[in-house]
Amino acid sequence: MANVTVYCEKCGGVYRVSPEMIADEVCFTCREKTLKLVPEKYCGCVTLKKEMEDEFYEKLVKSSPTFDQSCWDRRMENRKRSDEERYKRMSAEKQQANLPRCPTCSSTNLRKVSTTSKVVNTALFGILGTKRHKTFHCNNCGYEW
């Protein structure tokens, strides 16, 4: 069966659960069985309809007798933290993407070929060597370029 959208009356958290789980599922933030079905008109294709979000929180969450401001604040705090973590992870991935990669195995486990070995290379191959010297050594497959 397709998942349904539920919300927590105490903190306003919105979740996707399978219909038979609604009665047993606890709110991720409050750790309580406070979940209720989100009325059809607020449901978007995944969670809430973007344009209905404000109305949803005002009418169904904040005006609910079980609404708990401290739970709401805690949920916001959690969300901020997970946003920050996601941002950190994304920038770490971006940094990874900028790293030079091995053209054969695409490993980022590379070693810059040291100046000493370039000197040796030049000494061995003369002028040809200076043209041919490599910048990177792949620690994974051993390829040099």
Rounded least distance, CB 24 to Zn ion, Å: 15
Q: Applying CB under 5 A, does 13 fall inside the site for Zn ion?
A: yes
Rounded least distance, CB 81 to Zn ion, Å: 16
Which residue, 48 or 138, is less far from Zn ion as judged by CB?
Answer: 138
Which residue, 38 or 102, is less far from Zn ion as judged by CB?
Answer: 102
CA–CA gap between residue 76 and residue 68 (Å, rounded)? 13
CB under 5 A: which stretch of 54-62, 102-110, 111-119, 129-137 binds Zn ion? Answer: 102-110
Which residues are near Zn ion by CB under 5 A? 8, 10-11, 13, 27, 29-30, 102, 104-105, 107, 138, 140-141, 143
